[in-house]
Structure 1
Amino acid sequence: MLSTNHVVLGLVIDRPGYGYELQQRLDDRLGFLGLSDTVVYRVLDRLEHDDQIVESGPKSFGATRRGSPRVMYVATERGRSEFRRWMREPCERALVRDELHAKLVLAEPGDIGHLMTQVIAQERLCVEELTSLTRAPLRDLVGVDVPWPSVASVLIDEARAIRLQGTIDWLQRVRAVLERRASASSEQVR
């Protein structure tokens, strides 16, 4: 399941910040997730409770005109370890785009191999599911003598097939980019 805890933790690991600034980065980098404006504050409370982030003191730049000083957060070693574990964990098929998008945005170069493994596994699952669908041609459904439940079932399978094929195409493009990046990295090491 897409973990807002891990998404916010990844932003803190990338660069320490305070609540509003982290919300802005979340919107800028991961706006496709459609998370509410208050999610960061709830997540920061959970992460702090779980000892994955700590307060590092008040914001040290740009004075605020109103209110109290803003509290800056940094990741703990426990938080960094938990984030690395999540980055290596396979994405759930139902959420593959959102979760993999988040991991791609938050990834570091050392994560490419793990992401590649996840992409290949997801692609394989999608292909298996696509080949398991048995669909009648849509042109056979126009007759009024075909019972509606049969028509509806074929239409739903067609929608699933189109979504699966789109996901497969996207995963293949992601895999190609990751392969090129991994290849370029290994050539630079030589």
Structure 2
Amino acid sequence: MSTSHVLLGLLAERPKHGYELKKEHDERLPGARPLAYGQVYATLQRLERDGFAEVAETQQEGGPERTMYAITDGGRAELARWLDTVEPPAPYVSGSLFARVAVAGARADGYLVRQREAHLARMRELTAEKASGSPARTLAADYALQHLDADLRWIETALSRLKEEDNA
């Protein structure tokens, strides 16, 4: 995920300050790691440096000074380019699930059974979240559920292949 592009997308709606951007990021991308405030402000500085965002105004209403940022025309063009770019499918198998099984080989069956149980437990949690979640939370849960489902299908295939090897 590109934090810069996500923040540009949030700024495309209207000028916002860092605290608001962090809050909206965390609400709209509930399955993602929450942004640290330092990351938000460092990203805003890079966007400003690159000409994609600019300071719109500075506000002080009884508290700390808040700098409002706005997207520039260059930022809108960059956001449009990013939104139109197709995400390439991952060219390599790089997950830790696969790595553990590849290293364990024939000894991986116990691990795979435990991992299957962990996946199923997480799927139950996500399904419960969907019932009472916002549209963004529901979409995030759907995304995670489908990836977990793909992992489960691969786990079953791996268990079957390991069993075939034992019988060979």
Normalization by structure 2: what TM-score? 0.54
In structure 1, the partner of 2:57 is 57
**Do the aligned residues in 1 keep the contact of 2:25 with 2:35 (CA within 8 Å)?**
no
Alignment correspondent of 2:74: 78
Asked if 1:23 is matched to 2:28, the reply is no
The equivalent of 1:14 in structure 2 is: 13
**Number of aligned pairs?**
111
State the Cα distance separating 1:167 from its structure 2 match. 3.8
SS in 1 for 2:55: strand
Identical amino acids, percent of aligned pairs:
33
CA distance in structure 2 between the partners assigned to 1:93 and 1:14 by the alignment: 29
Which structure 1 segments of 5+ residues have no match? 95-124, 130-147, 171-190
Partner AA of 2:61 in structure 1: T
In the alignment, is residue 166 of structure 1 matched against residue 146 of structure 2?
Answer: yes
CA distance in 2, matches of 1:72, 1:41: 11
Deviation at 1:155, TM superposition (A): 4.3
Superposition map of 1:15-164 within 5 A:
15-38=14-37, 39-59=39-59, 64-68=61-65, 70-94=66-90, 149-152=105-108, 155=112
CA drift of 1:73 comes to 0.8
Q: TM-score, normalised by structure 1?
A: 0.48
Distance in 1, Cα, partners of 2:108 & 2:55: 54
Cα-to-partner distance string for 1:18-50 (whole Å, 9 max, x where unaligned): 111111111111232113322211110110011
- Read off the aligned partner of 1:84 and give its amino acid letter: A
Give the Cα separation in 2 of the matches to 1:56 and 1:3: 23
| Aligned alpha-carbon RMSD (Å) | 3.5
Rounded Cα–Cα distance in structure 2 between residues aligned with 1:90 and 1:168: 23
CA 1:169–1:16 in structure 2 vs 1: closer, same or farther (change >3 Å)? Answer: farther
* Code of the aligned partner of 2:52: Q
